[in-house]
Amino acid sequence: MRVTEGGVELEVPGEQTEGVEESVFYNPRQELNRDLTIATLRAFRDRELRAESYLDAMTASGIRGVRAAADGWDVTCCDVDEEAVELASENVARNGLRETASVEHRNVNGLMHDEVFDVIDLDPYGTPMPFADAAFANCRDLVCVTATDTAPLCGAHFNSGVRSYSAVPRNTDYHPEMGVRILLSALARSAARFDVGVEPILTHATSHYVRTYLELDHRATSADAAIDELGHLYHCEDCLYREHDPGLIADPIETCPHCGGDRVLAAGPIWLGPVHDPAFVERVRGELPDAFGTAEKARELCETLETELDTPTHYDQHKLCRNWGLPANAMDEFLADLREAGHAASRAHYGGTTFKTNASVDEIRAATEDNLD
Ligand SMILES: [Zn+2]
């Protein structure tokens, strides 16, 4: 089957699944992820002028590498699967990019230890952690990471999450954000082993994956600063009260200071720091031409990210209202009431009913309940 995306054309072997033609080497649901990758690479090149080389570490059909090469990057595609390597090589040639894109057939951890790249892109199936150490050991400027194991990340598959991320994830009403912050915590700790500090400049989560872009700083003091962004989170399952506490040593609370209940969960270490740089996200938004298949959706996502508050958890308006036995109202009205009462409040990109605020659960209710009817 032939696929056209972002101005490049690929041939991928198709298979009929339930009457729909699909390919194990090409996932159309990841087009938004790839459009944002190209826009981020463009914005990043303005930020870091020396950045030239890009490693597509799990290349499959070659789609990411081919798109990056067509955009002027010096690309290496790598895959451990022989069939993928053949396919990616054909797709590089099909687009006339043999001069700027090479395809390697090997274990990418070995390649990352042997060669230095300015940008490394990890897009594995499942957890990226088996590749994180090798990526941070030698990468110069930017590590891009996709994690598709959202159930382990958010605590729904608890043991798997603990094993993969050396942290305690908890299943809360803000599960996508739990996933983001468990992933960032594990990546920051992996980078710190090599005296590398990470700064997340763009991060987004959908129901299918978490994606983050980490700018690197090769100084031990930066690695220390990243570790200082880690901490723990305590969450009451009854009233949705939550608090966070910086530091690698946990100090869990036994009873909820709000409702007095004892169903308090502790999660961590999670990343408590910022998950994106709003000025950078704005530049990324400016690099999404109409020709990109998901341009409109990607720009909307960037807009939400630019204004999203920098709190480590979000609320779900419907869950809160259900807890209070009150009907939910329109999100804009709800947020306006919070701001009217003097609190900071924003939408969150995790879903239409999600929002962020610095107000406590009681303060949220006091500010909004007059208009919940
Ligand atoms: Zn409580």
At 14 the pLDDT is 81
What residues have CB less than 8 Å from 39, skipping those under 6 apart? 284, 285, 287, 288, 292, 298
Q: How many CB atoms lie within 10 A of CB 99?
A: 9
Mean pLDDT confidence for 250-261: 95
CB 189 within 8 A of CB 172: no
Condensed to tens digits (0 to 9), the pLDDT of residues 167-196 reads 999 999 999 999 999 999 999 999 999 999
Is the domain of 122 the same as that of 246?
yes
Q: How many CB atoms lie within 10 A of CB 246?
A: 12
Higher-pLDDT residue of 365 and 18 is 365
Mean pLDDT confidence for 116-120: 98
Q: Which two tokens stand for residue 65?
A: 């590498």
- For residue 74, the CA-to-ligand 1 centroid distance in Å is 53
Q: Is 236 annotated as a binding residue?
A: yes
Is the domain of 215 the same as that of 268?
yes
* Residues paired with 4 in a beta bridge: 9
At 17 the pLDDT is 72
Q: Is 193 annotated as a binding residue?
A: no
- For residue 255, the CA-to-ligand 1 centroid distance in Å is 8
CATH, residue 355: 3.30.56.70
Is the pLDDT reported for residue 260 higher than 90?
A: yes
Q: Is 154 annotated as a binding residue?
A: no
- For residue 108, the CA-to-ligand 1 centroid distance in Å is 47
Instruction: Give dist(CA 173, CA 73) in Å, integer.
Output: 40
- For residue 196, the CA-to-ligand 1 centroid distance in Å is 38
Domain that holds residue 345: 315-371
Q: Which two tokens stand for residue 162?
A: 């603990």
Q: Which of 254, 272, 307 is the last residue of a domain?
A: 307
What is the amino acid identity at position 275?
V
Q: Please state, rounded to an integer, the average pLDDT across all residues of the chain.
A: 95
Is the pLDDT reported for residue 21 higher than 80?
A: no
At 114 the pLDDT is 97
Q: Which of 307, 339, 358 is the last residue of a domain?
A: 307
Q: Tell me the C-alpha to C-alpha distance, in Å, between residue 191 and each of 29, 75, 136, 248.
A: 29, 23, 5, 16
Is the pLDDT reported for residue 15 higher than 90?
A: no
Is the domain of 139 the same as that of 268?
yes
Q: Is 303 helix (H, G, I), strand (E, B) or coil?
A: helix
Phi, psi at 187, each rounded to 5° = -70, -40
* Residues paired with 267 in a beta bridge: 233
- For residue 267, the CA-to-ligand 1 centroid distance in Å is 16
Q: Tell me the C-alpha to C-alpha distance, in Å, between residue 90 and each of 22, 34, 95, 97, 107.
A: 19, 20, 9, 10, 20
Q: DSSP letters along 10-23, please?
A: EE---EEETTEEEB
Q: Is 77 annotated as a binding residue?
A: no
- For residue 324, the CA-to-ligand 1 centroid distance in Å is 13
Is the domain of 263 the same as that of 157?
yes
Quick one: pLDDT band at residue 29, thresholds 50, 70, 90?
confident
CATH, residue 278: 3.40.50.150
At 23 the pLDDT is 79
Into how many domains does the chain fold?
2
Is the domain of 246 the same as that of 355?
no
Residues near ion ligand 1 (Cβ under 5 Å): 236, 238-239, 241, 256, 258-259, 261
CA angle, 268 as apex, 265 and 272 as ends, to 5°?
A: 110
Quick one: pLDDT band at residue 4, thresholds 50, 70, 90?
very high
Instruction: Give dist(CA 317, CA 329) in Å, integer.
Output: 9
Quick one: pLDDT band at residue 28, thresholds 50, 70, 90?
confident
Is the domain of 170 the same as that of 126?
yes
Q: Is 144 annotated as a binding residue?
A: no
Is the domain of 102 the same as that of 163?
yes
Q: Is 47 helix (H, G, I), strand (E, B) or coil?
A: helix
Is the domain of 198 the same as that of 92?
yes
- For residue 235, the CA-to-ligand 1 centroid distance in Å is 8
At 227 the pLDDT is 98
Q: Which two tokens stand for residue 277?
A: 């740089």
At 81 the pLDDT is 95
Quick one: pLDDT band at residue 251, thresholds 50, 70, 90?
very high
What is the amino acid identity at position 28?
P
- For residue 242, the CA-to-ligand 1 centroid distance in Å is 8
- For residue 322, the CA-to-ligand 1 centroid distance in Å is 15
**Token pair 């490394």 is at which residue?**
120
* Residues paired with 21 in a beta bridge: 16
Q: Is 239 annotated as a binding residue?
A: yes
At 13 the pLDDT is 85
Quick one: pLDDT band at residue 341, thresholds 50, 70, 90?
very high
Q: Which of 266, 288, 307 is the last residue of a domain?
A: 307
Is the domain of 220 the same as that of 336?
no
Is the domain of 348 the same as that of 298?
no
Is the pLDDT reported for residue 16 higher than 80?
A: no
Is the domain of 209 the same as that of 353?
no
- For residue 52, the CA-to-ligand 1 centroid distance in Å is 51
- For residue 241, the CA-to-ligand 1 centroid distance in Å is 5
Q: Is 362 annotated as a binding residue?
A: no
Quick one: pLDDT band at residue 338, thresholds 50, 70, 90?
very high
Is the domain of 343 the same as that of 234?
no
